[in-house]
Structure 1
Amino acid sequence: MATLAVVGAGTLVSGDLAHPLIEDADTVLCADGVITAVGRAADLAAQVAAADRVLDAAGATVAPGLIDSHGHVTFGDYSPRQKAVDYLEGYVHGGITRTISAGEVHVPGRPRDREGVKALAVAARASFDAYRPGGMRVHAGNVLLEPTLTEEDFAYLARCGVWLAKFGFGAYEKAVDGVEQIRWARAHGLVVMCHAGGASAAGSASLRADDLLALAPNVCGHANGGPTSMPDADVDRLLAESTMALQLIQAGNLRAALRIVGRALEEDALARIVVGSDTPSGFGVIPLAVLKTLVELSALGPLDPARAWALATGNVADVWGLPAGRIRVGAEADLLVLDAPRASAAGTALEAMSIGDMPGISAVVTDGVLRFLASRNTPRATRPATLVR
């Protein structure tokens, strides 16, 4: 049983929106990829002494790894859209420990026929099931809905382990023609995301509030634009008239994102807000996309950084039903060590975020395994983590 102890945390961010900080704790124990204990080093001394690996956070912040709720993966660690290789490993250096596919839209020659659509989703899911680029877990195989799909097709997809679906790229004459497919998908346990806002470069539909309310997906994809945002009144209707999650992305409209968070706070609906990158896209490959969004929401918006962190961790885990996104016993052990960057006016990672500085990531752990010390994409941390043994 492989064990890891992360000790010396000055701050523990929980990933839980209701209780964003873990008080009176500085140590996280992991065994076989799962968090087994959270507490004080003095109380866990025997387990720390027995751990195979000990990572010292040196007084910095320990937080759950970020979950990109909108990644444009294809096959392998390659983006045909930007002709980039090893980009997913680079995203791990940006603190993203797992990615949820928003549909394998950018596969060259993407099939549109009924059998090809199913085959693509099944193959993409299977190909990433045991492949961890840079240690990242990729939840791939998002079936792109087409009007030719039948209810039995969704039963088949579910039997094959496909649990993600996306509406907005199919050959529907009208958006409401997809209501039945979305109902079937949800009935068979698939989490459905809808494209929202203006059409994208990949040829998506343009969907507004009336469409989304009729379709009733689990998630309104990139509510702040992908890249063109919906009108403010449409977002207000989705908050008031539905329970769907609203996704904010880096490759979207910042003004709209800040407004959506403000409105969610007013409506006590912050648990419905999730964060993703919507990259690689026309905006490029952005390893720091999710972290940058959280910094912007913290520095420019109404959220303190620890609560903002939950939008890309615990909230995403809740919406997609993932056993990760929080520092708590039983959760999968995806962890970051981060601190204020060198020369920042801030003293901690959370303080740095609140003034708009990008924190420095000095360690990433996925599945309870230390993947690297010192991110190649963030500034250097003031207090870097060290591997004691």
Structure 2
Amino acid sequence: MVSLGFAHQIKMGAGSNSMVEFPVTRTPPGWRRNCKNRVKFRILTSENHVGEPDLSVTVNGLKMCNPFVIGSGPPGTNYTVMKRAFDEGWGAVIAKTVSLDAAKVVNVTPRYAKLRAAGVNGSLKGQIIGWENIELISDRPLETMLKEFKQLKEEYPDRILIASIMEEYDKAAWQELIERVEETGIDAIEINFSCPHGMPERKMGAAVGQDCALLEEVCGWINEKATVPVWAKMTPNITDITQPARVALSTGCEGVSAINTIMSVMGIDLDTLRPEPCVEGYSTPGGYSSKAVHPIALAKVMSIAQMMKKEFGDKDCSLSGIGGVETGGDAAEFILLGASTVQVCTGVMMHGYPLVKKLCTELKEFMKKHNFSSIEDFRGASLEYFTTHMDLVRRQQEAIRERKAVKKGLQSDKDWTGDGFVKETDSMVSN
């Protein structure tokens, strides 16, 4: 079980002096919204868990039934689909990104393109391994989205709803948007600093996430106003992703999400000579996602997690992993690299909302295999096995020397032992 590091004490029975502690798993929503300063929480893991593995997590004070989160995009674009996500059992939902003036957002169609496997090297022919989109943020009026946020929180008060927001370079606009989304009762905010197409033309999205000075200023505006946890969504379209992640955390964000899509051109139709996705004969570079980006996402998350462990180890900062998650094993890899939650967007577009059941089942199977009782039991467990190339060379040379020493056998009659006599004899046999 995962719980916060404090508890309510309740006296048992009239006149009894015995007390029982019940872990507090979440701060009351009303208190959170009226509190001027956000409170950070430390995740604690109970020991000696017996029975089924516990998938629940508590991140920045938010209790989720599992670590699987609907990533911002089409799967969180309106009330109907977000309700479906909650009903299917997703741990949290991040709505599609909103801004103050949706009239400026005009989407086109077709806006997706797929990359399919050729059926070599063990891949299934026709299997979708890559997905490109040139979709913008929500084109629905903000008032409509806010109304639906409020309705969802009224119907699902104990489920986690996160608003994704984006604005132009304007402090007043950012702070107005924060105030308006918080009024609906949402549990947290994810800041879209990473959309790679369309929005950067208006100095939004990745245009902010790629400029650390600009990012620091905007994060300052946001954290000055926000009273709920804030996650900053990182762009992978940058040389060193730890730099913007460091800035976001240093300016008060409780967590970071990584990665958003990778700038790409899906391909050229060799018959028409036109790029895909093709809109009236033309296209524009878009965001690449799905299975093909998973290894890249793992590397980015690993880098951020190492930085967080080294520089923010004494703070309760969270990391949400994103990129090519379609199986419980994919999710386990992100968690092993330090992620507290795992977001899925393209996977839902390909497999539907029931995918969460498969993810939970497979993650539990992984946990049973290794005797893990909670997510915290293995979160970040693989980070220690990453090192430098020079250290790999040193380790291998040392291992070779040790193997050679074993093959040489005993150096003197005094080295013989009674317990290892047979093995010691074999160590000096040449064939």
TM-score (norm 1): 0.41
TM-score by length of 2: 0.38
Instruction: Pick the structure with greater CA Rg.
Output: 2
Q: Larger helix proportion, structure 1 or 2?
A: 2
Which one scores higher on RCO, CA 8 angstroms, separation ≥ 6?
1
More strand by share: 1
